[in-house]
Chain A
């Protein structure tokens, strides 16, 4: 039985936005030009970074792994084109912290020479474990932005998964990379879904697409129909931000809510992104690792917005150039969408696996915030049914315990509250601040707990040592005191005492001789002799003594 509802459900709140998606969907996906250098951050995903396998000066081939990893939640990085490793070191990366991170920089040689790949036309030849391992080796991560290693999400060991959901909602304004992928590579999308279903041993797959992408819906539906894929269903869902949020999408499709601190797998579901499905398809069928992705380059700051197929590691500047360059309006560069993306300081940053959109807009403005008037517009807009104004109130007064009482950690930072606040308060900033502070405090607390335990242990150890030392000292003192008390007397007396002692000892030794063997009658003597004999023979005899 399908998990899909007859009538789609809906989540509380959310917003109807202006989508501006047509801007970048006027022309087909175009291949980005091969850049002279590729900058590959070693850590582009959630989880641990891999260990670098290449050295400076080494020639690498397209698709060759640059890192390897044994950690469970991790993903390797591959060379997106052939060339020479020029540098391994810290470079600015697209991250909200604006900090630098370890990157491998490759000078491309223009030959685009592939490393040896091993794929398989028929994925059913692989068992789920093999598929997972291949997905893992291909460095595939969630391509909707979060970049969570896909292989981990394909691991069903702990749960029974009945439904795979492909998230084609793409609810953020401006972004159209999934839309274009579904329009042009619908077959790969569907086949990628089938491979993942095989890996998950899922019975059905729902491909959810917002109704503002009619061409994508039509193409997918036609393909599914033509191939009689009855276990796959393309579902048209209403366009409403943030339907693309994993938990919101599940609620819309199934009417069920993923438990607050749980995962979709807890209720038998796995959600994967459209582009991830295509990446899985390429990895299994052609053996290609994740070395490129579709990026929407759009916004009023770009001359000719469009979607580009970009090698991971390509600097952003040249991509904008390929789209006709900047317009006069360009004043801010956002990775991701206008609701949840983050603004970057420069365009000399590489495209990473989670980069779905480069949005060039007029300079961002932060209007002066007025006091909160508790109007409640934020609470009506909140898709997690939180009370954003209370969260703000307690976060700004650093009331971190109360803020957790108000379920701060259920906040998905979608920005709906801030987008409707008449006082223009940057609410999400306050929640991020509070979360970071709480994590920090938690770490500090753990550290201090650890330190306290260590301290207590040390005190105990010192105490034990002291006690032992005292004990030794006491014994020594006692011994000394004894010795002193005995040696303090007259030496003559001591000599006499010693002599007496010796006599006594001798006497005692003499007394120790058995005294009951005198005056024995012959029968008794005989018994003793017999007993001695038995002892010598080692033979116990039960009936011997009276």
Chain B
């Protein structure tokens, strides 16, 4: 008689693991990140490093405070994804303490106080970003102009470190000479001053920052994030419905308004390739923990984010609205999941719709 080990079926071990998913996400971020570094210099990299170190450290501390094993959770890379997304969303010359604060807040309040990976209702990176932009609006404007723009030189590594860590511009330079409003911000401000889009494009001051599609540099960054995102969608690491809903809705709205009044509403291509849209659509909105889980729910979730982005960009107080749009839709996921439950096998549509009319509380 021979003895055997036992367990519960199924006995196959899945090939994918959480850390593999997160690693793929990090890999897919590389092309867009490389473009960001190319156009905006060392600041991007420094931010990412600061965010990564702070995120890993905070995660380790929180895990030990929560009496969780540190190694398996740290090596799932989920906190690195949060750190990178947050760093890519911050201005390149954001002071070190702001990046630290935002990242720390994201990990502690956005993630662990809710119970850690899988239990947080809000996207941690966006929680950190929103805290930063609400609390420190001035520091959140320290964007640098793209290096291909005439008249600006890239800051060197030492100068960048000095700006980020000491908070002072390099000798002989002013804040104004090293930082500049983003194309999205410029567009919003100037449109607010009753200028038409043509006026803005033709202006000597602002014209040069716009490229063929959107802002110089930004179009490339968005294009490469789109590429990385498509790769993830192809590998089924992310659900294509969310970015499709988001970009589709944003396109529909911006196209509609641009057709209605092309002088005051930017073209859909500008909207789609400006700011953090592709990063948001493929990497932030698709965070499975905080997104809806049903197919239909994911469509609605993505479309909702696209809707709020357009509203905030056009009539809201911020040039880009991704973080707020994502958080707003995060709030609605439990409801979306319940009301978009698929019809289970063998259930009639009649009983299915009846069940759904009843609602979750009864």
Contact = CB atoms under 8 A, between A and B. Distances in A.
A348 B1 contact: yes
B17 A422 contact: yes
Contacts of A326: 2
Interface of B: 1-14, 16-18, 20-21, 72-73, 76, 78, 116-119, 239, 288-289, 291, 293-295, 298, 337, 341-348, 355, 360
Nearest to A364: B7
Interface stretch (A180-188, A334-342, A485-493): A334-342
Contacts of A257: 345-346
A247 B298 CA distance: 28
B333 to A, nearest CB: 9
Given A371-B118, A372-B118, A419 B10 contact: yes
A345 interface: yes
19 contacts: A260-B345, A339-B9, A343-B4, A345-B4, A363-B4, A370-B18, A385-B343, A387-B294, A390-B341, A405-B355, A415-B9, A419-B14, A420-B16, A421-B14, A422-B14, A423-B118, A426-B7, A428-B8, A428-B9
Interface stretch (A39-47, A376-384, A506-514): A376-384
Given A332-B5, A347-B1, A364-B5, 7 more contacts: A333-B4, A346-B1, A346-B3, A373-B78, A377-B16, A410-B346, A422-B14
Nearest to A426: B8
Nearest to B17: A422
B345 A384 contact: yes
A363 B6 CA distance: 8
Given A331-B4, A376-B239, A424-B17, A368 B342 contact: no
Q: Is the interface of B mostly helix, strand, loop or mixed?
A: loop
- Among A340, A345, A374, the one with the most B-chain Cβ atoms within 10 Å of its Cβ is A374
Given A343-B7, A372-B118, A383 B14 contact: no
A261 B344 CA distance: 12
B196 to A, nearest CB: 45
A373 B293 contact: no
A262 interface: yes
A104 interface: no
A5 B348 CA distance: 21
Interface string A20-38: 0000000000000000000
Q: Is the interface of A mostly helix, strand, loop or mixed?
A: loop
A11 B342 CA distance: 13
A361 B5 CA distance: 10
Nearest to B1: A348
Nearest to B118: A371
Contacts of B18: 370, 373, 422-423
B287 to A, nearest CB: 9
A383 B6 CA distance: 26
A226 interface: no
B289 A407 contact: no
Nearest to B116: A371
A375 interface: yes
B118 A374 contact: yes
A365 interface: yes
Contacts of A344: 4, 6
Interface string A320-363: 00000010001111101011111111111000000000000101
Contacts of A422: 14, 16-18, 20-21
A308 B159 CA distance: 78
A482 B14 CA distance: 92
A185 to B, nearest CB: 29
A343 B345 contact: no
B288 A340 contact: no
Given A376-B288, A385-B345, A390 B293 contact: yes
Contacts of A372: 118
**What are the 7 closest A-B residue pairs judged by CB atoms, nearest first?**
A415-B10, A371-B118, A260-B346, A343-B6, A364-B7, A422-B16, A375-B288
Contacts of A375: 21, 288
Contacts of B5: 331-332, 343, 363-364
A418 B342 CA distance: 19
Contacts of B347: 259-260, 407, 410
B346 A247 contact: yes
A81 B187 CA distance: 90
B78 to A, nearest CB: 8
Nearest to B348: A259
A108 interface: no
A387 B337 contact: yes
A489 B344 CA distance: 89
- Among B6, B345, B355, the one with the most A-chain Cβ atoms within 10 Å of its Cβ is B345
A12 B7 contact: no
A386 interface: yes
Contacts of B118: 370-374, 423
Given A343-B5, A346-B3, A387-B294, A258 B346 contact: yes
A385 B342 contact: yes
A538 interface: no
B121 to A, nearest CB: 11
Contacts of A19: none
Contacts of B78: 373
Nearest to B117: A371
A389 interface: yes
Contacts of A423: 17-18, 118
B14 A386 contact: no
Contacts of A340: 9-10
A367 interface: yes
Nearest to B20: A422
A389 B289 CA distance: 11
Nearest to A342: B9
